[in-house]
């Protein structure tokens, strides 16, 4: 018998996006043993080991990457078919909040792809800091929010559904022609305001390593931070997609404290019923995730 079970494929995608099996358990509403059994059966059907398991989490093997490339569009099509047959209207207006750390160089292209997939949807987009967006989503000002979370953080909220989108490394960067790692001088840090998780992370990691620093620039957003870095006003830790195409230099990562990965999560209200509002929001979440996670 050929073919794959869609729920097993969904478990694979969720485990990879979440970064670990334990993080995937609540997202799939399965026990740890049931989730592991689904993955075991999927690997048996595929004839390959699909995941590398370690204390730090899971990563796809080469065969796993190949299967993921097929699984994501298959799941998106299956979800679209479900919405169509259940007559879930993906029309009207929705408000999406997006952290400005999220793929700033190609966010416009991704939103255009979403518009092509959902031409009947009027989407209002709000760019901001993750903590502000999380609060706005909880207060009902946003239908959905894409926020950033550090690898070590575990976000939980009783009435919020959390869906992983993807994970990126954090790296230390500066201007191409700058030389910030000079002996005897404190590191000049360019940061966002104190509410930013990367602000707290950079300061705490340098303090723990005993590396002196001075805050040389505070920017109100990622675009301003990128400009400050390009101008040589300091160094910063940024996620990989916020560095791409900016003409910035990766600093010697061995000379600076190690950094965790950043996870991007899609948040929306959790409904326990099968009301039209619930099904519409779930359908919209699936459409946004399939558009933005590629």
Q: Which residue has the tokens 């940061």?
A: 191
As given in the structure block, the two tokens for residue 64 are 């796993």
- Give the residues across from 100 on adjacent strands: none
Structure pTM? 0.73
Q: Which residue has the tokens 């989503």?
A: 137
- The set of residues, in sequence order, having a beta carbon less than 8 Å from that of 222 and lying 6+ positions away, is 100, 101, 104, 192, 238, 242
Q: What fold does the segment set 169-260 form as a domain?
A: D-Maltodextrin-Binding Protein; domain 2 (3.40.190)
User: What is the per-residue burial (b if ≥16 Cβ within 10 Å, else e) of 165-202?
Assistant: bbbbebbbbbbeebebeeeeeebbbbbbeeebbbbebb
- Kind of pairing between the strands at 261-269 and 160-175: antiparallel
Residue-level pLDDT, tens digit, the chain, 294 residues: 578 999 999 999 888 877 889 888 877 888 999 999 999 999 999 999 999 998 878 999 999 999 998 998 888 788 778 777 877 667 778 899 999 999 988 888 888 878 877 777 888 999 999 999 999 998 989 989 999 998 766 665 667 778 888 888 999 999 988 887 877 789 999 999 988 999 999 999 999 999 999 999 999 999 999 999 999 999 999 999 999 877 888 888 788 999 999 999 999 876 655 566 666 677 777 777 776 655
Q: Which residue has the tokens 């004839």?
A: 47
Of the options 3.90.1640.30, 3.30.70.1170, 1.10.10.10, 1.10.8.80, the CATH number for the domain spanning 6-79: 1.10.10.10
Quick one: pLDDT at residue 173? 94
Sign of CA dihedral 54, 55, 60, 62: negative
Quick one: pLDDT at residue 30? 86
Sign of CA dihedral 172, 226, 176, 244: positive
Intrachain domains 90-167+263-292 and 169-260 with the same fold: yes
Q: What are phi and psi of 95, to 5 degrees?
A: -115, 120
Sort 217 into a burial class: Cβ within 10 Å, 0-12 / 13-18 / 19+.
Answer: middle
**How far is 199 from 85, CA to CA, in rounded Å?**
46
Quick one: pLDDT at residue 154? 60
Q: Which of 251, 247, 253 is nearest to 230 (CA)?
A: 247
As given in the structure block, the two tokens for residue 13 are 């995608």
Quick one: pLDDT at residue 152? 64
Q: What is the largest CA-CA distance in the chain?
A: 67
**How far is 203 from 110, CA to CA, in rounded Å?**
32
Q: What fold does the segment set 90-167+263-292 form as a domain?
A: D-Maltodextrin-Binding Protein; domain 2 (3.40.190)
Q: Which of 237, 266, 280 is nearest to 149 (CA)?
A: 266
Per the CB < 8 A criterion, the answer to whether 141 and 134 are in contact is no
Domain map (residue ranges) of the chain: 6-79, 90-167+263-292, 169-260
């Amino acid at each position: 018998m050929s073919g794959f079970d869609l729920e097993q494929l969904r478990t694979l995608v969720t485990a990879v996006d979440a970064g670990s099996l334990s993080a995937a358990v609540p997202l799939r509403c399965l026990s740890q043993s049931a989730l592991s059994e689904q993955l075991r059966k999927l690997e048996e059907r595929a004839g390959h080991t699909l995941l590398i398991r370690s204390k730090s989490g899971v990563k796809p093997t080469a065969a796993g990457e190949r299967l993921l490339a097929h699984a994501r569009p298959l799941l998106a099509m299956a979800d679209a078919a479900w919405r169509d047959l259940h007559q879930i209207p993906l029309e009207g207006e929705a408000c999406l909040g997006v952290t400005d750390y999220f793929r700033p160089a190609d966010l416009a292209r991704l939103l255009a792809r979403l518009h092509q997939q959902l031409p009947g949807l009027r989407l209002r987009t709000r760019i901001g800091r993750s903590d502000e967006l999380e609060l706005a989503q909880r207060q009902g000002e946003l239908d959905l929010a894409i926020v950033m979370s550090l690898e070590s953080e575990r976000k939980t909220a009783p009435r919020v559904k959390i869906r992983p989108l993807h994970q990126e490394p954090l790296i230390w960067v500066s201007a191409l022609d700058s030389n910030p790692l000079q002996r005897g001088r404190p590191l000049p840090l360019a940061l966002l305001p104190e509410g930013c998780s990367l602000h707290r992370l950079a300061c705490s990691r340098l303090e723990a390593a005993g590396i002196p620093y001075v805050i040389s620039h505070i920017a109100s957003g990622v675009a301003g931070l990128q400009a400050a870095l390009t101008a040589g006003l300091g160094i910063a830790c940024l996620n990989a997609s916020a560095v791409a195409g900016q003409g910035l230099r990766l600093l010697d990562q061995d000379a600076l404290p190690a950094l965790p990965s950043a996870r991007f999560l899609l948040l929306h209200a959790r409904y326990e019923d099968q009301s039209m509002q619930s099904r519409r929001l779930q359908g919209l979440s699936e459409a946004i995730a399939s558009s933005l996670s590629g």
